[in-house]
Structure 1
């Protein structure tokens, strides 16, 4: 889930209005009504295949946080003040998990990455950042890199996949930093192979650039790469990780790397307004996520492959004229599903199926640039582990039947 782009359990990139657009009062009311219906259907569902943003009430989330925190150490210490106490413990834990010298807590990933790359620009003397045009800073941050932090962006490639070593070597102008989003969410949660990642990092080093990992979802990457988190983080000069993506936290992020960089980042965090008086609820939820969800992520990644194969079987058996799972074999526990139907028809079929059966299969559907083709993102987490391949096929077929009945 991305800051400012997702409401309720809308897990697709099109869930929020694009930057700079304004909905009319009528369309806004209709959108809010549709969202309320989706949330109600999801809350009433006894079975959920694809996870998404939380739909708890405030009271439910408070109770959940209290229950999850019961087994965590440090509850008898005072609440944090400007990042000491439990926030400092979270920072220590992240540095330990990633094998870095230090880590700093940030209220948002947008701030953490701007600060990291601003620091590197000062150290390298080059404010140009090489990154993919589908990366989060380009898609979802309202040009903050340039407008707030004075950074300039160049693109190694425009193809919807991670950049290659050859493309990094072939950039026509110098750049101070290469930022790699792992996985590249808007391209389908794609990852390079471990060897490809190593080669791309080496290509940046040959260009005398530092390497930053946009690792909002780094937590689930070890299964694909076949190495641990410290080995992945060791390739980069700095790493950003999120606490609410994958880990189910409330909010927040961390920037990890050398002690000197992290100390400088803390100063810029203060200047950017990120030195919040008390952040213990977010830190506590993050520690809980590291304790509870991080060990489960490999099982989610493995089961995502089962779910993807079952969905493919369901679409083929139903005679869907064209479909795409992107990637065909998921690299993480998330992937895209593309179908040749309007988003409105898919939303109605998905919600009506949930209302009638108590089973939620898909989240919100997003129109693609091709008329009549839409996509959604599937997130396989704890709620999906009990689903067999047959369960997935039957439920997907039920949604498809409703599309054709309405058509």
Structure 2
């Protein structure tokens, strides 16, 4: 039967089973007593509204000030704070990172006279944005490499056509949240400069990178001409993004933001949540990264002890507080085992979806945040044993059925 196709009478289709499992996973997450991460976006409306109330105790911004209207006020405060953290002259707030990066690279193309943007084949604009660079912004993506790693300086130097900008996603999420070494990063930037190109960092998760590079945010961002950062991926904000760079760039970016429909009437709830994230989550990220390495090692040990024929935790050790787990089973089987373990034990080891990568092979992404700090290595190994036991039952039922 084709995936999502016709099922026997009375039986749900593959798509319906996945939808049912999503509902079950959501319920299991809500009732779980132990998870590795509780990102804010999974919260209820009541919980998200409570965050705004809690910001009053953080002294983030004077609540008696006039609310923002098309920017200004609290929006400017966030822009100035972000620019200072990144060591850039100025920053401009955007409702989405997709818009921020299109505007940034469109502005750079006007300055360089070249609309070609060199980037990784797995970069977010290539995989997740419906070809927005070429369809909306008159930019021409040029793929530096398709390998599941960061581009090398040699690949940038040897690219067989001119390009106006090099975009580097730090970390490269779809390759496993991978980062280059500091030396590799500086060499790639130097190679782009040799090609007379500007350098733009897709830093949606740049906040998580300081431990790996052993450098502060400003020193990392100083390598690039412009940097985009997200406020919800690492910092648990409601949304929003910032583009930081020279003031001449951000001033022009404000014009294009308006043209792209990003001049939103009022944004204070999102901006307050971003300020709260910078205050509360940003200082904790190094702890999350350090513990992610503990969790990853324990996962590897747990699968080996449980007799799983093959597993991979990638990268090892993790470069940030997020990484991939690969297992030799179909995605639906792994997803069912993860949900069943949570329903039976209220321990949700794998809370994200499983992505099939071929017959009998799938991966999931693991994120370690505040809730994960409560897990010891032994807790992780025990949870792996429970997950594998559930997996064995699901496999046996599939064979028997």
TM-score, L = length of structure 1: 0.92
1:68 to 55, 64, 84: 55
The 8 Å contact of residues 239 and 257 in structure 1, kept in 2 or not, is answered as yes
Q: Which moved more, 1:23-32 or 1:35-44?
A: 23-32
What is the CA-CA distance between 1:364 and the residue it aligns to? 3.2
What corresponds to 1:103 in structure 2?
A: 91
SS at match of 1:383: helix
Q: Say whether residues 1:48 and 2:35 are aligned partners.
A: yes
The 8 Å contact of residues 21 and 339 in structure 2, kept in 1 or not, is answered as no
**Deviation string, structure 1 residues 263-298 (Cα, Å, up to 9, x no partner):** 000000000000000011110000000000000000
SS at match of 1:178: strand
CA RMSD of aligned residues (A): 1.7
The 8 Å contact of residues 51 and 379 in structure 1, kept in 2 or not, is answered as no
Distance of 2:317 and 2:147 partners within structure 1 = 19
Q: How does 1:201-280 map to 2 (within 5 A)?
A: 201-280=189-268
Q: Say whether residues 1:189 and 2:193 are aligned partners.
A: no
2:186 to 181, 198, 202: 198
What corresponds to 1:379 in structure 2?
A: 367
What corresponds to 1:59 in structure 2?
A: 46
2:352 to 364, 368, 371: 364
Distance of 2:149 and 2:272 partners within structure 1 = 35
What corresponds to 2:315 in structure 1?
A: 327
What is the CA-CA distance between 1:367 and the residue it aligns to? 3.5
Distance of 1:63 and 1:351 partners within structure 2 = 28
The 8 Å contact of residues 4 and 16 in structure 2, kept in 1 or not, is answered as no
**Deviation string, structure 1 residues 208-235 (Cα, Å, up to 9, x no partner):** 0000000000001011001100001100
CA gap of 1:385–1:49, structure 2 versus 1, over 3 A, is same
Distance of 2:150 and 2:39 partners within structure 1 = 24
The 8 Å contact of residues 218 and 241 in structure 1, kept in 2 or not, is answered as yes
The ranges of structure 1 where at least 4 consecutive aligned residues each deviate by more than 6 angstroms after the TM superposition are 21-25
Instruction: Give the paired residue count.
Output: 387
Q: Say whether residues 1:160 and 2:144 are aligned partners.
A: no
Distance of 1:369 and 1:222 partners within structure 2 = 31
Distance of 1:180 and 1:23 partners within structure 2 = 40
**Deviation string, structure 1 residues 70-93 (Cα, Å, up to 9, x no partner):** 322322212111011111100010
TM-score, L = length of structure 2: 0.94
CA gap of 1:52–1:326, structure 2 versus 1, over 3 A, is farther
The 8 Å contact of residues 365 and 374 in structure 1, kept in 2 or not, is answered as no
What is the CA-CA distance between 1:369 and the residue it aligns to? 2.9
Distance of 1:87 and 1:57 partners within structure 2 = 25
What is the CA-CA distance between 1:370 and the residue it aligns to? 2.3
Distance of 2:40 and 2:189 partners within structure 1 = 33
What is the CA-CA distance between 1:127 and the residue it aligns to? 0.2
The 8 Å contact of residues 303 and 380 in structure 1, kept in 2 or not, is answered as yes
Q: How does 1:9-28 map to 2 (within 5 A)?
A: none
SS at match of 1:105: strand
Distance of 1:131 and 1:258 partners within structure 2 = 22
Larger Rg: 2
